[in-house]
Structure 1
Amino acid sequence: MMALSTRNARLIIFARGVSDFGAFLNMVALSTYVYWLSHSVVFVSIFLACRVVGGIVASVFGIPFFRRFAGRGALAGLDLSRALLLSPLLFLLPEHQLNVLPFIAFGIGLCNSLFAIGLNSQLPTWVAPDQRVATNAWITSAAATGAVFGSLLSGLLIATWGFEAVFAANIVTYLLAASLILPLRALYSAVSTPARKGFSGEWHELTRGLRGAPVLAAMLVISLLDTLGSAAHNVGFPVLSQYIDPDTAKTVMGYLLAVWALGKFAGARLASTVLKGRGIQRMERLFLAGVALMSTGFILTFQQTELWPALVLIVWAGLGDGVAEVALVSRAQSEPDTLRLPLFSLLTLIQMTGFGVGMLLVGPFYLAWTPAQVIVLFHGLPLTALVVMGGWMYCMRRRVPSKTLVEE
């Protein structure tokens, strides 16, 4: 069984890496393509908004979808759907493509989020308990690597072979991801949920479960605030790059993203080592430490006007990002089968909504403030919540042991 678990873990890691490479490849390529076709920043904003709305819809639709269509087939089908969504861009005339691109963006956002929800919530059925943290760490590492390579290579591929070649390559990545998902074999059966429970029943049970796991509930709140900080630094990267070197701003941004990915890779590996054989409380504390590292790292990075100090400090931010992500996903996967799916759906809803709202909020601040001030404000929110949560956890554990749904 351990050999099969190891095989499943490797397939999942490679599938997630290829899938995230494809997701970031098409995000950059499609955004650039939309602007090239429309010559309108407003249309690009509409396109990106449709993608975010698709992710939000997926967080609500994910529960009934995976209760009905659980297993590897649904995940492979989502990869095939992403490939099919891109296929019109290979045969439609450019003047007709602009009308369908918002629908493609919505579908891609929907499928991307459904894939993440399904994979994270069902991973415990494919991977043995003592291998889950290590698998999550490698998934985070593979996702970060795929994201950066997808972002960096998209521009090179567009310049060399054109948009159609990039879209064709993107379709191939999704077909490859589907082929990696199909050989998965279930090791553990999930607890079936009665159909009569319904959508409202799922969320009611999740709410009741979070009352019994207040630290996990607080982690979700911090994740929401963290998405606002993520929106701020994503919008701010081009601005910071201009501050550092106006003549080579695109190259500077590429360096920042690549070094951040290295830090996130290292953070995921560190989390795997620290959490090995440990319980829920260690996951919760490591999440707090990861968020603290990430937010302080980004705050310090955006104070810099020279490249080398910024590169050193963004490693710090990436390290915290990798640690926090592995700890949060591993903690959520520790919940019972009946709660895991709605929990990951809620987490996706939090991340997509927070990021979308954050992108809208931060723009006006960059018009009036420096990037350093904006990042202090938005990354200061999760840091403030961490201080409150840390003090509360200290007081709570001195009086009464923490109640969790799954005992350590």
Structure 2
Amino acid sequence: MSDDRQLYLSIRNARLIIFARGVSDFGAFLNLVALSTYVYWLSQSVVFVSIFLACRVTGGIVASLFGIPFFRRFAGRGTLAGLDLARALLLMPLLVLIPAHQLNLLPFIAFGIGLCNSLFAIGLNSQLPTWVAPEQRVNTNAWITSAAATGAVFGSLLSGLLIATGGFEAVFAANIGTYVIAACLVLPLRALYRSTVAAHRGLAAEWQELTKGLRGAPVLAAMLLISMLDTLGSAAHNVGWPVLSQLISPDTAKTVMGYLLAVWACGKFVGARLASVILRGRSTHGMERLFMLGVALMSSGFVLTFQQTELWLALLLVVWAGLGDGLSEVALISRAQSEPDSLRLPLFSLLTLIQMAGFGVGMLVAGPFYLAWTPAQVIILFHGLPLTALVIMALWMRRRA
């Protein structure tokens, strides 16, 4: 195959991946909001909603644990398309069964969707280097992050509109459609670059190999630790959005929350695009430094946002947080993809485990703090953790240099 032809196919693959991830994340947030609302409507119980969300997070944790042997045996575009179709099938009972029979199925549906969501992300991120040219990976990661942020906001906002106009059935039908479209976008992908396919080993051997690899890349290991602490902070501010919105404007709290999320997503979009420009031609050291800058901007941005009672100031500062979010996410994914083929899959599985477990624990731990503390104090505590770790990492890197 000529170089020009290979480059053309690489660009085509990148576009398909970006659109597939955007549509997939749109569907994921569409059903997160719609299903949570639907569960509460059916059960009239906050406890059942908590069980539903816990099952979803548990599915993501399980996926991160057995994602390595799964993708060692079933790599490729067909598996990713199958995961999209599996998510569509999981939602089918909500269209064909009467509501009385759906309630007991919903925790299993939540577990299955959480499992498939995380497996799709692990498979896509770990295999992207086989589909996209090395010089295009950072730009592709940036567009994936931008598409994910856009899909998250539109999925969250449109779910309410669809429920109001067409009922829950309309949301579930639209959601099934998004997963089918994502599967159709994944199927034309074509492997262009060879990777060293590691033989399937036991899970203990995989994690041992990853541990050995991280010892040889201590800065990457520190990035993963900071990412875990950052996930705790993310859980805290996600719990706190409704509280902050109520403080800013009690009469229009839902509208305020929509504005904050939309503006945050715009900041993340810009941050991802900036990361693409900044990292062009940079080494792994450049990715590591940009990650540190991004986390510093993001956590400090959220800390300052939650100090505000004026909407315009909160919107101005949440852009800052979104900008850092986009920078850090693109830098972290690009840095992880630069690792050898044998380590890439375990690395993304570990990253997913860290994020899902951290977010789940953070949601449980942060809630009680809001009963005794102000939102500003809670966010200082939880986003202060990654900022403190960041300072320690910066001092350690300077000393090491």
What TM-score do the two structures reach when normalised by structure 1?
A: 0.97
Deviation at 1:189, TM superposition (A): 2.0
- In 2, distance between residues paired with 1:224 and 1:165? 36
Deviation at 1:198, TM superposition (A): 1.8
Query: What amino acid maps onto 1:370 in structure 2?
Result: T
Please tell me whether the aligned partners of residues 72 and 199 of structure 2 are also in contact (alpha carbons under 8 angstroms).
no
- In 1, distance between residues paired with 2:294 and 2:198? 34
Instruction: Pick the aligned partner of 2:15 from 10, 27, 47.
Output: 10
SS at match of 1:189: coil
- In 2, distance between residues paired with 1:314 and 1:26? 25
Instruction: Pick the aligned partner of 1:39 from 36, 44, 62.
Output: 44
Indicate yes or no: 2:300 matched with 1:296.
yes
- In 1, distance between residues paired with 2:134 and 2:198? 22
Q: Give the match for residue 274 of structure 1.
A: 278
- In 2, distance between residues paired with 1:68 and 1:80? 19
- In 2, distance between residues paired with 1:295 and 1:203? 30
Within 5 A, what are the aligned runs for 1:94-243?
94-195=99-200, 197-243=201-247
List per-residue Cα deviations over 1:258-282 (Å, max 9, x = no partner): 0000000000000000000111000
Deviation at 1:67, TM superposition (A): 0.3
SS at match of 2:188: coil
- In 1, distance between residues paired with 2:143 and 2:85? 24
RMSD: 0.4
Deviation at 1:384, TM superposition (A): 0.1
- In 2, distance between residues paired with 1:194 and 1:224? 29
- In 2, distance between residues paired with 1:97 and 1:191? 45
Deviation at 1:193, TM superposition (A): 1.4
Query: What amino acid maps onto 1:214 in structure 2?
Result: P
Indicate yes or no: 2:351 matched with 1:347.
yes
- In 2, distance between residues paired with 1:313 and 1:395? 33
- In 1, distance between residues paired with 2:205 and 2:33? 39
Indicate yes or no: 2:46 matched with 1:68.
no
Equivalent pairs: percent with the same residue?
Answer: 82
What TM-score do the two structures reach when normalised by structure 2?
A: 0.98
Query: What amino acid maps onto 1:236 in structure 2?
Result: G
Q: In structure 2, list runs of 5 or more residues that go unmatched.
A: 1-5
- In 2, distance between residues paired with 1:361 and 1:35? 22
Query: What amino acid maps onto 2:330 in structure 1?
Result: V
Query: What amino acid maps onto 1:180 in structure 2?
Result: L
Query: What amino acid maps onto 2:400 in structure 1?
Result: M
Please tell me whether the aligned partners of residues 198 and 342 of structure 2 are also in contact (alpha carbons under 8 angstroms).
yes
- In 1, distance between residues paired with 2:128 and 2:332? 14
Deviation at 1:190, TM superposition (A): 2.1
- In 2, distance between residues paired with 1:362 and 1:203? 30
- In 2, distance between residues paired with 1:133 and 1:193? 24
Q: In structure 1, list runs of 5 or more residues that go unmatched.
A: 398-408
Q: Give the match for residue 25 of structure 1.
A: 30
User: After the TM superposition, which parts of structure 1 deviate over 3 Å for at least 4 consecutive aligned residues?
Assistant: none
SS at match of 1:99: coil
Within 5 A, what are the aligned runs for 1:258-273?
258-273=262-277
